Structure 1
Amino acid sequence: MELISWNIQWGRGAGGKVDLARTINTLRGMADADVLCLQEVTRGFSDLAGQPQTDQVAELATLLPEYRVIFAPGVDRTHRDGSPRQFGNVVATRLPVREIFRHALPWPADPDVASMPRVALEVTVQTGTRPLRIICTHLEYYSTSQRAAQAEALRDWHAQACGHARHPGRSESKPGPFTPEPRPSEAILCGDFNSRPDDFAYRRMLEPYGDGTPDWRDAWIHMHPGQPHAPTCALYDKQQWPEPPFACDFMLVSDDLVGKVRRCEVNGLTDASDHQPIHLTVDL
């Protein structure tokens, strides 16, 4: 299975131009991906830099006709004319979809900094004979306390899912919503953590559970032991990011899946966003 995660900055490249077709062409040039996990997709925020079109979810569906495009807004507001103003994450997949969860991440008050609601989009896909959970997320940038709370929530949701995997729920006598879908423990968690490797949120995600829940493992570290993280931000857009390049986008896999990882690479060549995409290959 080939998966790519990328904060696409609504298709805005380092030169300031918004071009979703360029974004998709870049992704197609990297791999024949089964799953795309995209952050910073907008509907209605056409006043963002570069002036994206009104509905990027519809644009992506047109550009990716062979994929099912699933959207989860973190910010979900409405214009006075009734049209949406949404900003969030997309999972696009050509694998069969079994179940979808849209987790609103915690957003405790932090009045000293700017912040926005954030989301984790969890999609269970069928990979051959087995299901796999894929979570696409984007943590808060400015607020350390919000980012820490969001990491805790992601850890808790993983533990809950693994609890369901160990102890499947009962069904009613007739088929319906009480008939549960299998919750696999094997999972991939990816996205823009807005967290450098020495930040609490990233380090917290990798701490052991100690209760039988498979720990999260960094696929980059697994495939490149002893090497520093390849930078995923501040390579090209020096107007937004004048500091040296750094890593803040990660690809985590559950411990029961890490042995199947065959590739984890950062594309450091494209300037089609202010972040760099990460490519994961898993044998399933």
Structure 2
Amino acid sequence: MRVVSWNIQAALGCDGRNSMADILALLHAQNADVICLQEVARHLPEHGNTDQLDAIRQFFAGFTPVWAPGFSWQHPEGRSEFGNLTLVRSPLLVDARTHLLPAPVSSEHLQMPRTAAEVVVTSASLMLRIFNTHLAFHCAQERREQLAYLSAQKTRAEQQALRRAPAGSKGSYRQPPSPAGVLLCGDLNLTPESDDYQFLLAQGWLDSWHICHGDQTHAPTCGVFDKHQWPEGPHCRDFGLLNHAAALSVADIGAEQTCDASDHQPLILEFYP
């Protein structure tokens, strides 16, 4: 099973032009089973008033979309929305839901509603729960609360996998598909050197990069081409984090380093089989 996670920056390329065609071409070439995108925009003037959700959905007609916007405002042509989109090759999608992440009100920091798209996917011998998210950038307290929330969802999923359904569970009370393995992927807006990263490790998350590459430094996922937004240069702020059950199935992780269609680089994870 192949999973691609990518903050596409609302299809703004590092040359300042619309990069949707390049994004779609790269994603198609990856032949992924699950595509987790962050910063997808619909009918927003600052992003060209285009419906990126519709364009992506039409291009990947053989996939089922799970759309998690942080807001949905009125617009003459539909809705103005911005959020995370997960696409699952249609036969593989078992279950799906969306989450609105915690956001303590702050008058001192820029804030926008943040979400996570949760899917359960299955292949011939692997079932996996995947959270696709994009966390707060400006407010450290907000980001920490979001990390705590997602860690609690990991615990909930692990407990659900062990649950024995009571007698009489049927209809909407049926036991939902409950794999033991959990993947958290996306733009977490933290670095491997940060206190937030240590917090995640303390919550039981394992970094797929170190599982697959030992002590090697993370490949950069941001600032590779866009030096204006990221004067610190290339660094990692996009991750594929696993619980212990999912760690047994991860085969490889890497970051594509040649594409400048966004300020972020695509992250590619491979799972057995």
2:231 to 224, 242, 247: 242
Q: Contact 2:95 / 2:177 at 8 angstroms: preserved in 1?
A: no
The offset of 1:130, in angstroms, is 4.5
1:202 to 197, 208, 211: 197
Quote the residue 2:70 is aligned against: 74
Separation in structure 2 between the aligned mates of residue 65 and residue 101 of structure 1, nearest angstrom: 20
> Equivalences for 1:160-175 in 2 at 5 Å?
160-170=156-166, 172=168, 175=170
Quote the residue 2:146 is aligned against: 150
Quote the residue 1:254 is aligned against: 243
**1:110-136 per-position Cα deviation (integer Å, ceiling 9, x unaligned):** 221101110011001122254310110
Give the aligned residue type for 1:150. Answer: Q
Separation in structure 2 between the aligned mates of residue 238 and residue 193 of structure 1, nearest angstrom: 19
Quote the residue 1:212 is aligned against: none
The offset of 1:82, in angstroms, is 7.8
Q: Contact 1:121 / 1:135 at 8 angstroms: preserved in 2?
A: yes
Going from structure 1 to structure 2, the CA distance change for 1:43 and 1:170 (only over 3 Å counts) comes to: farther
Q: Contact 1:90 / 1:121 at 8 angstroms: preserved in 2?
A: yes
Quote the residue 2:95 is aligned against: 99
Separation in structure 2 between the aligned mates of residue 33 and residue 277 of structure 1, nearest angstrom: 12
Going from structure 1 to structure 2, the CA distance change for 1:23 and 1:195 (only over 3 Å counts) comes to: same
Q: Superposition RMSD on alpha carbons, in Å?
A: 1.7
Quote the residue 1:17 is aligned against: 17
Give the aligned residue type for 1:259. Answer: L
The alignment status of 1:191 with 2:186, answered yes or no, reads: yes
The alignment status of 1:229 with 2:218, answered yes or no, reads: yes
Separation in structure 2 between the aligned mates of residue 11 and residue 126 of structure 1, nearest angstrom: 29
The offset of 1:182, in angstroms, is 2.2
Separation in structure 1 between the aligned mates of residue 41 and residue 151 of structure 2, nearest angstrom: 27
How many aligned residue pairs are there? Answer: 272
Q: Contact 2:154 / 2:243 at 8 angstroms: preserved in 1?
A: no
**1:84-110 per-position Cα deviation (integer Å, ceiling 9, x unaligned):** 111110111114222112111000012
The offset of 1:199, in angstroms, is 2.2
Quote the residue 2:81 is aligned against: 86
Separation in structure 1 between the aligned mates of residue 18 and residue 77 of structure 2, nearest angstrom: 25
The offset of 1:46, in angstroms, is 3.3
> Equivalences for 1:128-143 in 2 at 5 Å?
128-143=124-139
Separation in structure 2 between the aligned mates of residue 204 and residue 7 of structure 1, nearest angstrom: 23
The offset of 1:77, in angstroms, is 2.5
Q: Contact 2:43 / 2:77 at 8 angstroms: preserved in 1?
A: no
Quote the residue 2:255 is aligned against: 266
Instruction: Flag structure 1 segments of 5+ consecutive residues without an equivalent.
Output: 209-214
Separation in structure 2 between the aligned mates of residue 199 and residue 116 of structure 1, nearest angstrom: 22
The offset of 1:245, in angstroms, is 1.4
Runs of 4+ in 1 over 3 A off after TM superposition: none
Separation in structure 2 between the aligned mates of residue 63 and residue 83 of structure 1, nearest angstrom: 20
1:220 to 205, 209, 231: 209
Give the aligned residue type for 2:161. Answer: A
Separation in structure 2 between the aligned mates of residue 78 and residue 171 of structure 1, nearest angstrom: 45
Separation in structure 2 between the aligned mates of residue 52 and residue 171 of structure 1, nearest angstrom: 51
> Mean Cα displacement is larger for which, 129-138 or 58-67?
129-138
Q: Contact 1:126 / 1:132 at 8 angstroms: preserved in 2?
A: yes
Going from structure 1 to structure 2, the CA distance change for 1:52 and 1:272 (only over 3 Å counts) comes to: farther
Quote the residue 2:40 is aligned against: 41
Separation in structure 2 between the aligned mates of residue 108 and residue 73 of structure 1, nearest angstrom: 18
Same amino acid, percent of matched pairs = 34
Separation in structure 2 between the aligned mates of residue 121 and residue 132 of structure 1, nearest angstrom: 14
Q: Contact 1:98 / 1:126 at 8 angstroms: preserved in 2?
A: yes
